Amino acid sequence: METKINIKTTNSCALKNPLHGIVNSLPGVYGVEADMFSGVIKFNHTNEVSAIEIEEAVRSAGYEIIKDSFAEIANEWDTPQRVKMVKDFVTEVRSHIRFSGEDIIVDLGCGTGLVGLELLDEVKFCNFIDTSASMLDALESKLSYAQLERSAILKGSLMDYTGSEIDKIIAHNSMHHIEDINALIERAKRTLKPGGVFIVADILEEDGSFHYPEVVPHNGFNTTKLANLFESIGFKILINRIYGKQIKKDKEYQKFIIIAKNIEL
């Protein structure tokens, strides 16, 4: 069996109890693989020990565990409805801007990579970024060898991406999960080339029912306020419009698209 645990990496370098101590202390754990950069620890174990017991041992060793809210749904994420929604979004994007074989793009909050995979054959390189290890595992399982050569997978946020000179950043249905939108847009400005674009698609402001009972940082967005924020940081709004809808739990939510161009202040 394998149990995967996500941890905060800020304090992982100053731990009193190393990982092998956890392995030695738990019956049935026979292997551990840790990637401290991405914050993922994988434990191989028998049914002598449960995932809950492993988590408790990790906490007692000084690690702060981050729950992956998408772990249970990652493998069933690519429903026909969601695939169609992404294709409709990409069609909308293509009606406003062009992609080229020289483009380096970021699929931000990529999930299982539906948006980036839709565009990968027409761009030079795609960086897939998401905070969910489970979603990224599902993405990696879909990538062919040729696609792996033209893409990179990063667990984290745009703040964790160290590159620059990006042509396009695309955030489809992911920005409402990000706490500090101001910091995100400022980081995007430093990441994008002059003239590069940030493409956002999300839902309009709503009453919290979209994710209920889960609580997320933003219950949709006021597009006027969001556009004004982009402009204050040094972007020019090229597109700001309602382009479709999303139905969830028998309720309809309007979707918007904003395309913002990185300009010199």
The pLDDT, as a whole number, for residue 64 is 78
pLDDT at 6: 74
Record the pTM. 0.77
What's the pLDDT score for residue 33?
81
- What pLDDT was estimated at residue 119? 97
Q: Could you give the C-alpha distances from 199 to 38, 226, 227, 236, in angstroms and in order?
A: 25, 12, 12, 12
| pLDDT tens, position by position, 92-124 | 999 999 999 999 999 999 999 999 999 999 999
Which residue would you say has higher pLDDT here, 78 or 199? 199
Task: Report phi then psi at 158, rounded to 5.
Answer: -60, -25
* Alpha carbons 190 and 188: distance in angstroms, whole number: 5
Mean pLDDT of the chain: 88
Query: Residue 179: pLDDT above 60?
Result: yes
Show the domains of the chain with their CATH numbers.
2-66 (3.30.70.100), 74-262 (3.40.50.150)
Q: CA quadruple 94, 253, 228, 185: dihedral positive or negative?
A: negative
Q: Is 160 helix (H, G, I), strand (E, B) or coil?
A: helix
Is the Cβ–Cβ distance between 195 and 262 less than 8 Å? yes
Percent of the chain with pLDDT over 90: 58
For the cut 90, the answer to whether the pLDDT of residue 31 exceeds it is no
Q: What confidence tens digit (pLDDT) does each residue in 38-54 have?
A: 677 878 888 787 767 88
In angstroms, rounded to a whole number, what is the distance separating the alpha carbons of residues 186 and 13? 28
pLDDT score of 1? 61
SS3 content of the chain, % helix, strand, coil (to 5): 35, 30, 35
- Asked if residues 137 and 72 have their Cβ atoms less than 8 Å apart, the reply is no
More confident residue, 54 or 242: 242
Q: What are the CA-CA distances from residue 74 to residues 61, 151, 189 (Å)? A: 28, 20, 30
